[in-house]
Amino acid sequence: MFTFLLKRLGLVVPTFVGITLLVFALIRLLPGDPVEAMSGERGMTPERYQRLVHEFGLDRPLAVQYGDYVWKALHADLGRSIVTQEPIFREFMTLFPATIELSLVAILFALILGLPAGILAAVRRNTVWDYSVMGASLTGYSMPIFWWGLLLILTFSVWLGWTPVSGRIAIEYDIPRVTGFMLVDALLSSDAGAFRSACSHLVLPGIVLGTIPLAVIARMTRSSMLEVLREDYVRTARAKGAGTLRVVGIHALRNALIPVVTTIGLQMGSLLAGAILTETIFSWPGIGKWLVEAIHRRDYPAVQGGILLSATVIIGVNLVVDLLYGLINPRIRHHG
C-alpha cells in the first residue's frame, strides 16, 4: 500500500509543475495587461503606469516572474490580487464554500437519479426502458452547459416564475455568514424563509451542474450491473429462488458499486472545474465566477493562485479516490 501511495504522490509533482507553467504562460498570452485593466476608461498618466508596472513586478523578465511565483507558492504565499489588494488565499477560501455547496447539491442530484436509472437500464436490458435511459444519458452528456442553463432559466425563471434567476439568496434576507455555506447559515439563523430562498436558488444551478455527472453515473452503473448480473453467484441466487429485488439489491448492486464509487469521486473533482460555466450563467458567487472575472481583469496573481488552489483540491480528491479504490480492490495496488 505504501508503494502504491508513493507512485500516486510521484505523479503529483510533475502535475503541479505543468499546471503552474501552463497557467503562467497562457494568462500572459492574452491581449492587454492588468495595469491597463485597472485604469478603465479614465486612463492614467505614463508615469503612474510605469510605477504600477514596477510595483507589480511586471517589468521583470518572464523567467524571473515565474521563478518568483513558484518560490512563493512553495512557501504557501500566493500573493495579493492586483485589483482588490486582498490575499489570494483569503479570497479563495471566502468563495470556496459556495462552490462546494453547489457541487454537493449537483452530485446529490446526479446520484438520486443516476443510480436508479442505471440499475433500471441494466435489469431491463434491450427494452424501451434501457433505450430511454441510455438515450437521455447521451443527450445529457452531450448538451452544452451554457445552452442548458439558459434554457432552464428561460423556462422555469422567466416563463413560469418558479425559481430565481441568479444569486444564492434573495436580497431581503441578510443572515449572518458563519460557515459560508448558505443552507447551513440559513438554518442557523432560524429563518424558514431564508432557508427556502437558499434552497430555491440552488435548484437550477444544481441541475445544470449535475446533468453530466448524472449521465456518467447512469451509464457506469448500467455497465457495471450488466457485468455483475452475468456472474455465477447471481445465477446461483436466482436458481435458489431469490426474488429479483433481493438478487439486484443485495447480491448484484453491492459488487457493482465498486467502479461506480470511483466514478462518483472523479466526478466530484470534475464538478469543481465544470462550475466555472454554471457559476457564470447563474451569477453564483463562487470560485468559477471569481476566476472568470480575474481573467477579464488580467489579474495575474488571482488567476495563477486560484487555478493552483483549484487544481490542488481536484488532485486531492482524485488521490483519495485512488487510495480508496486500492483499498477496495487490492489488485489495483499491484498493477496501478
Residue 334 has pLDDT above 50, yes or no: no
Q: What's the pLDDT score for residue 53?
A: 79
- Do the domain assignments include residue 42? no
Interval 263-284 mean pLDDT: 79
Q: Which residue has the higher pLDDT, 8 or 22?
A: 22
Per-residue pLDDT tens over the stretch 68-78 = 888 888 888 88
Number of domains the chain is built from: 1
32 in the Ramachandran plot: left (φ > 0), alpha (ψ -120 to 50) or beta?
A: left
Start-to-end CA span in the chain (Å): 11
- Residue 16 in grid coordinates: 503541479
Query: What is the domain-level CATH number for residue 160?
Result: 1.10.3720.10
CB-CB neighbours of 56 under 10 Å? 19
Bridge partner residues of 89 (DSSP): none
- Do the domain assignments include residue 35? no
Q: Residue type for 35, please?
A: V
- Do the domain assignments include residue 107? yes
What is the pLDDT confidence band of residue 59, given thresholds at 50, 70 and 90? confident
- Do the domain assignments include residue 173? yes
Distance from C-alpha of 206 to C-alpha of 116, rounded to nearest angstrom? 19
| Whether 78 contacts 301, CB under 8 Å | yes
| Whether 71 contacts 291, CB under 8 Å | no
- Do the domain assignments include residue 101? yes
Residue 20 has pLDDT above 90, yes or no: no
Residue 82 has pLDDT above 70, yes or no: yes
Q: What's the pLDDT score for residue 316?
A: 79
Interval 138-161 mean pLDDT: 89
- Do the domain assignments include residue 290? yes
Per-residue pLDDT tens over the stretch 95-137 = 889 999 999 999 999 999 998 999 888 888 889 988 998 999 8
- Do the domain assignments include residue 315? no
- Per the structure, the complete domain to which residue 162 belongs is given by 89-296
- Do the domain assignments include residue 61? no
